Amino acid sequence: MPAPITIGGRDFRWGERTYVMGVVNVTPDSFSGDGLGGDVEAAVRQAVQMRDDGADIIDIGGESTRPGFAEVTAEDEMRRVIPVVERLAREFDIPISIDTYKAEVAKAALGAGARLVNDVNGFRRDPAIARVAAEAGVPAVAMHNQRGRDFSDTIGEIVSGLLESLRIAREAGLPEENIIVDPGFNFGWTDDQALEMLRRLKELRVLGRPILIGTSRKSTIGKVLGGLPVEERLEGTAATVAIAIANGADIVRVHDVKEMARVARMADAVVRAWTPEAPEP
């Protein structure tokens, strides 16, 4: 197992249990239907509920990454996320993550109190973001994004892309032991390829890094279940979360924290040989 990573003063010890990352979208156009626009109070309330429901990390995003999304400027993104990050960093006792691929936004969010950078382009679109994380001394998530890239082999493409992300990180001074990898479920893959990724997730252990995966409410789930809309994908998400854990996931990124924290605990009991606590005398 990879060595523990400290995020926001907390040690994340891989292999002991699965960690849950709760998603707070401060956007008007989130694919998952939970975008909160610029409503800081609503975002804080949602984050508080997620923490109480069992989230280990809260991931704040200010730009949708749905297929065909409209990019926003760094200034607009910061206007959405920084007030939320500041509030949560002051009031929370769990780490805050910033979901962005822009170095400028990451730097501002880290200055406001975020303690993890989550880049859906794995430092490959804006390599300066790896240097921002390195200079701040914080870990980062590098996701493989297949959108716009030629395809030959699902796991091969993911491993190759993430090795490139690790190379960029090293050159920027961001230690490999501070990197968490994400295969990018539904980011440029067909539904068959996304399911193959999940089925073969354990093969990413070759990278020697903790694995994060975000299947929550994704379109593949809706299609497999006969075209279900986003709001009816809870059970499908639960199935993918349990299978991801069985196949080696260390962190699951989810919208429905209470339900998926329970799924993770049950899956951990099976996968990690949970032992019930002794009853009190």
253 is catalytic: yes
Token look-up 């780490």 returns 95
Angle at 31 between CA 57 and CA 179, to 5 degrees: 35
| 165 contact partners, CB below 8 Å, separation of at least 6 | 122, 123, 124, 142, 144, 179, 181
Residue-level length of the chain: 281
3-state secondary structure of 179: strand
In whole angstroms, give the CA distance from residue 86 to residue 152: 43
Task: Give the bridge partners for 19, in sequence order.
Answer: 251
Tokens of 49: 């509920």
In terms of DSSP H, where are the helices of the chain? 40-53, 74-91, 103-112, 128-136, 154-172, 191-199, 219-224, 234-246, 257-271
Whether residue 43 contacts residue 34, with contact meaning beta carbons closer than 8 Å, is answered with: no
Distance of alpha carbon 275 from alpha carbon 256, whole angstroms: 26
Q: How far is Cα 141 from Cα 130, in angstroms, rounded to an integer? A: 10
- Reduced to 3 states (helix: H, G, I; strand: E, B; else coil), residue 12 is strand
Structure tokens at 37: 């626009």
Helix ranges (H only) for 145-280 are: 154-172, 191-199, 219-224, 234-246, 257-271
Catalytic residue among 87, 217, 218, 233: 218
Query: Is-catalytic flag, 218?
Result: yes
Catalytic residue among 107, 131, 209, 253: 253
Task: Give catalytic residues, as residue numbers.
Answer: 218, 253
